[in-house]
Amino acid sequence: MDGAAPNAAAGSGATAETQPHLILIDGSGYIFRAFHALPPMTRPDGVPVNAVFGFSNMLGQFLTKHVGSHIAVVFDSSRKTFRSDFYPDYKAHRPEPPPELVPQFALIREATAAFGVAGVELDGFEADDLIAGYAKAFVETGGQVTVVSSDKDLMQLVRPGVQLLDPIKQKPIREPEVLEKFGVTPDKVVDVQALAGDSTDNVPGVPGIGIKTAAQLILEYGDLEGLLAAADKIKQPKRREALLANAELARISRRLVLLDENCPLPSPIDALLARAPEPTRLSGFLREQGFRSMLHRMGLDGDTAPESAPVSRPRQAFQLPGLQPEAAAPEPVSTEAAPFGPYETIADPAQLAGWVAKAQASGLLAIDTETDGLDALNANLVGISLAVAPGRACYIPLRHGPPPGTGDMLQEAPVAPPQMTQDQAVEALRPLLADPSVLKILHNAKFDLEVLGRAEHGALQLSPVDDTMLISYSMDAGRHGHGMDELSLRHLGHRPVSYDEVTGTGRARIPFTQVALDKATAYAAEDADVTLRLWQALRPKLLPQKSLALYEQVERRMVAVLREMELAGIKVDGAELARIGEDFTQRMATLEKQIHELAGKPFNVGSPKQLGEILFDEQKLPGGKRGKAGAWGTDAAVLEDLAARGHELPRQVINWRQLAKLKSTYVEGLAAQIDPRDRRVHTDFSMAITSTGRLSSTEPNLQNIPIRSEEGVRIRRAFVAEPGHVLLAADYSQIELRLLAHLADVPSLRDAFEKGEDIHSRTASDIFGLPRDQVDKEARRRAKTINFGIIYGMSAFGLAARLGISPGEARGIIDAYFSQYPGILEEMERLKSEARETGYVMTPFGRRLWIDGIQAKEQARRGNAERAAINAPFQGGAAEIIKRAMVRMPAALKAANLSARMLLQVHDELLFEVPQGEVTATAECVRSVMEGVAELRVPLKAEIGFGANWAEAH
DNA sequence: TACATCACG
DNA sequence: GACGTACGTGATGTAC
């Protein structure tokens, strides 16, 4: 805080009074610093404000120290700039701003205005261009300019009358500083940058040339064109070749870095005149944000009404110089929350425009869609609800018809309620939904994105998006469900109107299109309201719960990936299914006849109850056990046991059941799911169902398509590639056992994986004390059973049952296993006690998996929970690994210029549809993504196959 | 709607 | 000494 006031520094004796002085603040730089320097802070209503706070503080501090005749904060406009027109990659790999920052952009513009400072931005131009434009114009009128920024791209502007001010070091940057940084005078900076490039902005430059070399060349040849003209005379062969080969790239680079000082100026210079902030406006703004300490510091808190301070969650102590975060305050004391309703019904575009403006201003928008079905690829859009703040929500009906029973039976035709057309709503919403400065919040975003993205619904695209279901799942998997109603009750203490309440149930149920608008609004708008409030309640918990990275990097990114997969679907040969079905039908009929003869009477083979009575009551076969309901158990293990004793009836029932299962579920069930438009089946992946972090798949479930039996393989063959394509399957090999070797750090298992040896043979050798080359099939089979059993928390009893040996023998094997691999025993115990003490276990990548029942008094229930606790990190860790591969896959394929589509995920397998000519390259790309996705103590391995159908691809 | 069964990893 | 006995899913048919 020395006296490096720009007016004194720039004006060489001149004062602010005598010479015009324009201060241009680089808004993005301020925002970025403020956001990253401060811990998360939220207003009492949950809106994040740490960047707003930091920005306001920095701007306020600046104004107290520096005086200029003119001042403006210059912002980047959200849209693309003219640079991407001639070089699409420019700044293309910039990550989206973090979701907590998104709603703050609008508030920061408000803050600027509240401080009485002009805010300047222009579509199609970067802040740097506007800064260049204003600087040039101002200098031409004889004024001085100070640009508050440390961005090196702005150094090209330094000249007599124009200087930069480093906002962190409070140090002016003039010609000597530029010379030090670039090795050339400011007027040559762009030529140096053209050669050196800039990886963060994707400015290519000339490969192999950095700033030092570039400066040397420019000093020698004057400028870029001079250098390129003389390039063939350069002595160093590498440098010469690089320059000759990349001359055009260098010219493009120069255009990219050269600021457009002739850009249009959105406000006249007079509009940038410095003026004192209007106290009521400033205090109003600060009070709205809850910035009490700042109000106080500025002496603006004289007669303020009591209000609550923002909730601050300082995580690590960090302060900007002269900038104090607000004191930590307790959770907002339940100031009476906004009521849930009444909500507004929107019938015309003018009304909607008001809501769009509100969302634009707040930067936050919760959205929910109402449809006439749960199948996102087929359901029709019935209405859209929006929420912009707690309690402020509306419903836009689009396809509501007359409610039932309206209209006169005799004459009057039933009348649909007033509503705007879908086109009107879609066009009003489209810019808002795409606006990168407005965060869209949804619950189960994948569904709404699929519905709104369909062409017949206007092909709406939403970005950026947060998903409250996934936020909840990231922290609380296994703890409870993640449906909106359940979360509302749990976190907001509010039971929303249920769907059944508005549509009725059973025979009396009416389609949502016929629900009267007042009821529909009460239901639909409330869902958007609840979604917004859930976001406010849950989103701030991600960081302290250490689940933020998982949510941001995995779950949030999975939405788009799964959406593409569901949309793609997989082709199923319906004619082949029909042939299989006929064959099964015939064979079942034959079997049924035999079974009835063996039973001595006809009965329903599909009825376990009737079968049990025949087997155990009538025929008195041994080994019958009754289940919960008192019925005889007749599952495959029981029947298999009887069959092994030579009984024919159970054998044939086993065969019949296999065919019945395949026929009903996979032949008929699947055929019914083929979409006639593309002859493909489109599953719905559920992202927040499992207790371990796995996906699940429904309608149809494409994660349990048969493969293990010969008959099953026939069904899998009906999953085919389009003509000219193949299916490519990539499986993680032994992923859970690799995680076991990693987590328990087992030297022998690590060694086996490292060397690519058969892991079960290694285990057999270790626990049975056999030399590696003397492990026979039976020993390997036993070792395999125990290896998998371990991951499932199996007991000696269970192992005995599986291996058909006595519990004593099984105990001996388990003892040998744990004495060979003591790290595994330790890890099992550690997981049980972690679950007991905390209620959860962690996956290797930081997902918290809650274990239900771990504290139960009933031994059986607790035993179940302990086994779940042992299994969860392995199953969950594997799920994490494949999800990470999936979120990386689309970009990797694109970068390799491959057009393969990812179709399915089956827990440790990814299935792709690949153009025939790209198979080898795709296999390599997929392998490298899958194997490179995590660094464990053992290597990851992906096994890849391909073929005309899914069976062949294995 | 509950249960049993069985398809997958 | 008894208890129960390998984790995680979803779809189907029967019986109530």
Is the pLDDT at A59 greater than 80, yes or no?
Answer: yes
Q: Are A208 and A242 in contact (CB under 8 A)?
A: yes
| Statement: the CB of A872 is under 7 Å from strand B | no
User: Among residues A801, A884, A815, which one has the least CA distance to residue A846?
Assistant: A884
Q: What is the pLDDT of residue A81?
A: 80
Nearest to A907 by CA among A695, A590, A755: A695
Return the residue matching tokens 């689940």.
A547
Cα torsion A156, A161, A167, A171 to 10°: value is: 100
Length A10 CA → C9 C1' (Å): 70
Residue A108: which of A75, A80, A78 has the closest Cα?
Answer: A75
Which whole number is the average pLDDT over A261-270? 90
CA distance A259 to A126: 9
Query: For the domain with range A21-173+259-272, which CATH number is right: 3.30.1330.60, 3.40.50.1010, 3.40.50.300, 2.40.160.150?
Result: 3.40.50.1010
Q: What is the mean pLDDT of residues A665-682?
A: 95
Residues 897-936 of chain A in contact with strand C via CB under 7 angstroms: 907
CB < 7 A to strand C: residues 33-62, chain A? none
Query: Residue A543 contacts by C-beta under 8 Å, 6 or more apart in sequence?
Result: A40, A313, A315
Protein-contacted positions of strand B (CB under 7 Å)? 3-9
Pairing of strands A570-572, A680-681: antiparallel
At A409 the pLDDT is 57
Cβ neighbours for A316, distance < 8 A, ≥ 6 positions apart? A39
- Residue A79: per-residue pLDDT: 62
Classify domain A344-545 at the CATH class level: alpha beta
Strand C: positions under 7 A of a protein C-beta atom: 2-16
Q: How far apart are CA A553 and CA A886, in angstroms?
A: 11
In the predicted structure, residue A631 carries a pLDDT above the cut 70: yes
Higher pLDDT, A770 or A298: A770
Q: What single-letter amino acid sits at A346?
A: I
Burial tier of A858 (Cβ tally within 10 Å: 0-12, 13-18, 19+): exposed
Residues 6+ apart with CB under 8 A from A98: A35, A552
Q: How far is the CA of A634 from the C1' of C14 (A)?
A: 14
Strand C at less than 7 A from CB of A791: yes
Q: Which of residues 439-468 of A touch strand B (CB under 7 A)?
A: none
Interatomic CA distance for residues A792 and A554, integer angstroms: 26
A950 CA to C9 C1' in angstroms comes to 21
Give me the pLDDT at residue A788, please: 94
CA distances from A853 to A184, A554, A794, A829, A866 (A): 70, 28, 18, 17, 9
C1’ C10 / CA A848, Å: 24
**Percent residues over pLDDT 70 in chain A:** 93
Separation of A690 CA and C2 C1' (Å)? 33
A943 touches strand B (CB under 7 A): no
**Residue A103: how many other CB atoms lie within 10 Å:** 23
Asked if the Cβ of residue A860 lies within 7 A of any atom of strand C, the reply is yes
pLDDT reported for residue A235 = 83
pLDDT value at residue A237? 83
Token output for A278? 């209007």
- Length A709 CA → C3 C1' (Å): 36
Nearest nucleotide from residue A871 CA, by C1' atom: C7
What value does the mean pLDDT take over residues A668-682?
A: 95
Distance CA A168, CA A165 (A): 9
pLDDT of residue A923: 98
What residues does each domain of chain A span? Answer: 21-173+259-272, 344-545, 570-681, 736-872
Q: Is A41 helix (H, G, I), strand (E, B) or coil?
A: strand
Identify the residue with better confidence: A9 or A685: A685
How many angstroms is C1' of C5 away from CA of A345? 58
Q: Is the pLDDT of residue A400 over 80?
A: yes
**Residue A944: closest CA among A716, A751, A730:** A730
- pLDDT tens digits, A172-206: 899 888 888 898 899 999 999 999 988 778 888 88
- At A827, the amino acid letter reads E
Distance A341 CA to B2 C1' (A): 38
CB A889 within 8 A of CB A557: no
Q: How does pLDDT run across A679-711, given as a tens digit for each residue?
A: 999 999 999 999 999 999 999 999 999 999 999
pLDDT at A43: 86
pLDDT of residue A2: 37
Contact A654, A636 (CB under 8 A): yes
Asked if the Cβ of residue A734 lies within 7 A of any atom of strand B, the reply is no
**Predicted pLDDT at A9:** 35
The predicted-structure confidence for A16-31, as pLDDT tens digits, reads as follows 345 889 999 999 999 9
Alpha-helix runs per DSSP H in A232-382: 237-245, 247-257, 279-289, 292-297, 349-362
Question: Which pLDDT score is estimated for A412?
Answer: 64
Q: Give residue for tokens 């990386």.
A: A888
What mean pLDDT value characterizes chain A? 89
Which protein residue's Cα is closest to nucleotide B2 at C1'? A629
> For tokens 């407005």, what's the residue?
A438
Residue A673 Cβ < 7 Å to strand C: no
Asked if the domains at A21-173+259-272 and A344-545 fall in one CATH topology, the answer is no
More confident residue, A587 or A42: A587
For the cut 70, the answer to whether the pLDDT of residue A324 exceeds it is no
The answer to whether residue A310 scores a pLDDT higher than 80 is: no
pLDDT tens-digit readout, A798-813: 999 889 899 999 999 9
| The domain made up of A736-872 is a member of CATH 1.20.1730.10 | no
Judge whether residue A374 contacts strand B, using its CB and a 7 Å cut-off. no
Fold of A570-681: Taq DNA Polymerase; Chain T, domain 4 (1.20.1060)
Q: How far apart are CA A621 and CA A56, in angstroms?
A: 83
Residue of A527, A410, A403, A548 lying closest to A470 (CA atoms): A548
Percent of chain A with pLDDT over 90: 68
Any residues with CB less than 8 A from the CB of A426 and at least 6 apart, and which?
A457, A458, A460
Q: How far is the CA of A649 from the C1' of C12 (A)?
A: 23
**CA at A655, C1' at C12: how many angstroms apart?**
17
Q: CB–CB of A333/A308 below 8 Å?
A: yes
Q: What is the reported pLDDT for A518?
A: 95
In the three-class reduction of DSSP (H, G, I as helix; E, B as strand; rest coil), residue A821 is classed as coil
Lowest mean pLDDT among A8-12, A633-637, A710-714: A8-12
Confidence label for A411 from pLDDT (cuts 50, 70 and 90): low
pLDDT for residue A305: 36
For residue A402, CA distances in Å to A384, A497, A930 come to 18, 22, 53
Q: Give me the CA A840–C1' B1 separation in Å, rounded.
A: 32
Taking C1' of B9 and every protein CA, the nearest residue is: A907
Task: Report which residue is nearest nucleotide C2 when distances run from CA to C1'.
Answer: A859
**pLDDT in the model for residue A327:** 33
pLDDT band, residue A311 (cuts 50/70/90): very low
State how far the Cα of A155 lies from the Cα of A152, in Å rounded to an integer: 5
Average pLDDT on A601-627 reads: 88
DSSP assignment string, A610-668: HHHIIIIIIS--S---B-TTSPBP--HHHHHHHHHTT-HHHHHHHHHHHHHHIIIIIII
CA of A66 to C1' of B2 (A): 76
The reported pLDDT for the residue numbered A572 is: 96
Task: Tell me which residues from 796 to 815 on chain A have a beta carbon below 7 angstroms from nucleic acid strand C.
Answer: 797-798, 801-802
Give the residue-averaged pLDDT of A54-61: 92
Q: Is A12's pLDDT higher than 60?
A: no
| Angstrom distance, A709 CA to B6 C1' | 12
Q: Which residues contact A579 (CB under 8 A, 6 or more apart)?
A: none
What CA–CA distance (Å, rounded) separates A592 from A529?
57
